[in-house]
A and B are shown apart, each in its own frame.
Chain A
Amino acid sequence: DAEITQSPRHKITETGRQVTLACHQTWNHNNMFWYRQDLGHGLRLIHYSYGVQDTNKGEVSDGYSVSRSNTEDLPLTLESAASSQTSVYFCASSDREGFTDTQYFGPGTRLTVL
């Protein structure tokens, strides 16, 4: 069965360190997304990608970067981790253009920045 996986599932790091969260999907979807989930804010979009070599900023992109070198993977990098980036991070993918279709979510990565 197709799926979307994230690793690690839990991560503790220190302020100032670079951290990369992995996202891998086997749906063969063109669109991929990174969200963060915080109490009282729901899901907020960090970055998204229409396809290989394409990346775009979302509403909370400061301090984060992504790259898309193939269809299956969209790693999220925190360049210099800050305590404000403690959150649960979800990767998602979808198929059709225009983003009107269902999004398929990974299980999430809980990141703690000390």
Chain B
Amino acid sequence: GDSVTQMEGPVTLSEEAFLTINCTYTATGYPSLFWYVQYPGEGLQLLLKATKADDKGSNKGFEATYRKETTSFHLEKGSVQVSDSAVYFCALSVPSGTYKYIFGTGTRLKVLA
């Protein structure tokens, strides 16, 4: 069935370090792919998305490229800040007549000053 697998956390980095959070997926159709971010005490909010192969989503210095050949959507940022500390969720949605929106288990990122 359809699924999302993302790397286990927590990920701890120093400020200005390079960030990669891996996400791979399995889907029967042609999914849209998303990264959501959850700051402490808040709900999830969309960080970026890509709706077809080779699309790159970007926002707030974060980027992710929809790679159909490797079924991946890895999240990257060149220089993280303390304010990026949060939980990051990869998700996919497959167009169908019924609900098909699947979230990964989340990766906690902690950035140290």
In the complex, what residues of B have CB within 8 A of residue A40's CB? 105
Complex Cα–Cα for A104 and B100 (A): 16
Which residues of B85-101 are within 8 A (CB) of A? 89, 93-101
The tally of residues in A whose CB lies under 8 Å from a CB in B reads 23
In the complex, what residues of B have CB within 8 A of residue A90's CB? 43-44
Residues A45 and B44 in contact, CB atoms below 8 Å apart: no
- The answer to whether residues A105 and B99 also contact, given A42-B106, A100-B51 and a CB cut-off of 8 A, is no
Residues B99 and A102 in contact, CB atoms below 8 Å apart: no
In the complex, what residues of B have CB within 8 A of residue A56's CB? 98-99
The tally of residues in B whose CB lies under 8 Å from a CB in A reads 25
- Chain A nearest CB, measured from B50 CB (Å): 12
In the complex, what residues of B have CB within 8 A of residue A92's CB? 43-44
- Chain B nearest CB, measured from A32 CB (Å): 11
- Of all chain A residues, the one with the shortest Cβ separation from B90 is A42
- Chain B nearest CB, measured from A66 CB (Å): 13
Per-residue 0/1 for A1-30: is the Cβ within 8 Å of any B Cβ (1 yes, 0 no)? 000100000000000000000000000000
Residues A107 and B42 in contact, CB atoms below 8 Å apart: yes
Residues A99 and B104 in contact, CB atoms below 8 Å apart: no
Which residues of A28-46 are within 8 A (CB) of B? 33, 40-43, 45
- Chain A nearest CB, measured from B99 CB (Å): 5
In the complex, what residues of A have CB within 8 A of residue B49's CB? 102
Cβ-closest 5 pairs across A and B: A105-B43, A42-B105, A43-B103, A98-B95, A105-B44
Question: A92-B44, A101-B93, A106-B43 are known contacts; what are 11 more A-B pairs with Cβ within 8 Å?
Answer: A42-B89, A90-B44, A98-B93, A99-B99, A99-B101, A100-B94, A102-B34, A102-B46, A102-B49, A103-B44, A107-B42
